[in-house]
Structure 1
Amino acid sequence: MEQRHALALKQFNMKATPKRLAILGMLEAEKGYASPEELWKRLRDRFDRLGLPTVYRILEELAASGILTKVIHPNRQLYYYFCSNREHHHHFVCLSCRKVEDIPSCGIEALEREVSLRNGGKVLSHILQLNGLCSGCADKGVTA
């Protein structure tokens, strides 16, 4: 897994530092989203010199490169998720168990065309995130 992460970092002209690799490995194993503070608390024993600002900086670098995905929670906290799918897609986020699922279809292209025609500009990108409860949480009667 670490070798795969090192290759991914190299593709984006980023060094495969131990801290970057540790964050990627932890998020991939998570299978859901995590906050910078959660990651920092779990990693600070492993690294003598790891401050919370460093974790934020690494997460932002990885998100800007497309290796990580930002999850915007209704609680206004920013979380991060490791998504191995490099195709254009969106996410369904379970607000209870933190599971993140890919939504393979988009359907936003028509809206992009309408916006472009209406304002004369050109839409360059978009982000769509659906929040709710996964089937497992919904079946248990969990409320968000």
Structure 2
Amino acid sequence: MEHQHVTALKEAGMKATPKRLAILEALNGLSCYASPEELWKQLRARFDRLGLPTVYRNLEELAESGVITKVIHPNRQLYYYFCHNRDHHHHFVCLSCRKVEDVPSCGIEAMAEVVQQQSGGRVLSHILQLNGVCGSCLRSGAPQ
């Protein structure tokens, strides 16, 4: 798996440092999003000198380069998720169990056309994240 992470980092123009690889490995093992603090607690046993600011900085760099996905929670906390899907897509985030699912459809083209017709502007990029409660949590009666 490490080889895939090295490749992803190099494709993003980033160095494959031991800390970045460890962060990717930790995120890769999850089917849900994680906070910087959770990752820091998991990784600090592996690295004698790993500060929380280093984890934050690496997560932001990885997210900005597109290697990982930033999950913006309604509680205003930032979380991170390693998504294997490199095609254009969006995510459905379960606020109960923290699971992240791919949403393959986009629909932004129609909205971009409206923007162009109404204002003459042009959409250059977009971020779309759907928050809710997944079917498993709904069936189990998890809090919403």
Q: What is the TM-score when the length of structure 2 is the normalising length?
A: 0.97
Matched AA of 1:83: C
Match of 1:127, as an amino acid?
A: I
In structure 2, the residue matched to 1:46 is: 46
SS of equivalent to 2:29: helix
Q: Which runs of 5+ in 2 are unaligned?
A: none
Q: In structure 2, what is the Cα distance between the partners aligned to 1:107 and 1:122?
A: 15
Q: Equivalent residues in 2 for 1:70-89 (5 A)?
A: 70-89=70-89
Give 1:24's aligned residue: 24
Deviation at 1:28, TM superposition (A): 0.9
> Which residue does 2:14 correspond to in 1?
14
SS of alignment partner, residue 19 of structure 2: helix
2: distance between equivalents of 1:88 and 1:14?
Answer: 21
Q: Where does structure 1 lack aligned partners over 5 or more consecutive residues?
A: none
RMSD: 0.9
Shift of 1:115: 1.0
Q: CA deviation at 1:86?
A: 1.0
Mapped to 2, the partners of 1:117 and 1:51 lie a distance apart of 49
2:72 paired with 1:65: no
- Give the counterpart letter for 2:19 in structure 1: K
Q: In the alignment, which residue of structure 1 is the partner of 2:92?
A: 92
Displacement after TM superposition at 1:95 (Å): 0.6
TM-score (norm 1): 0.97
Across the two proteins, how many residue pairs are aligned to each other?
144
1:81-120 CA-partner distances (Å, limit 9, x unpaired): 0011111111000111111000001112101111122122
Whole-angstrom CA distance in 1 between matches of 2:66 and 2:99? 19
Measure, in 1, the Cα distance between the counterparts of 2:143 and 2:58.
33
Could you say what secondary structure the match of 1:30 adopts? coil
The percentage of counterpart residues that share the same residue type is: 72
Local SS of the residue matching 2:92? strand
What stretches of structure 1 move > 3 A for 4+ residues in a row?
none
Counterpart position of 1:118:
118
Q: Does 1:140 align with 2:135?
A: no
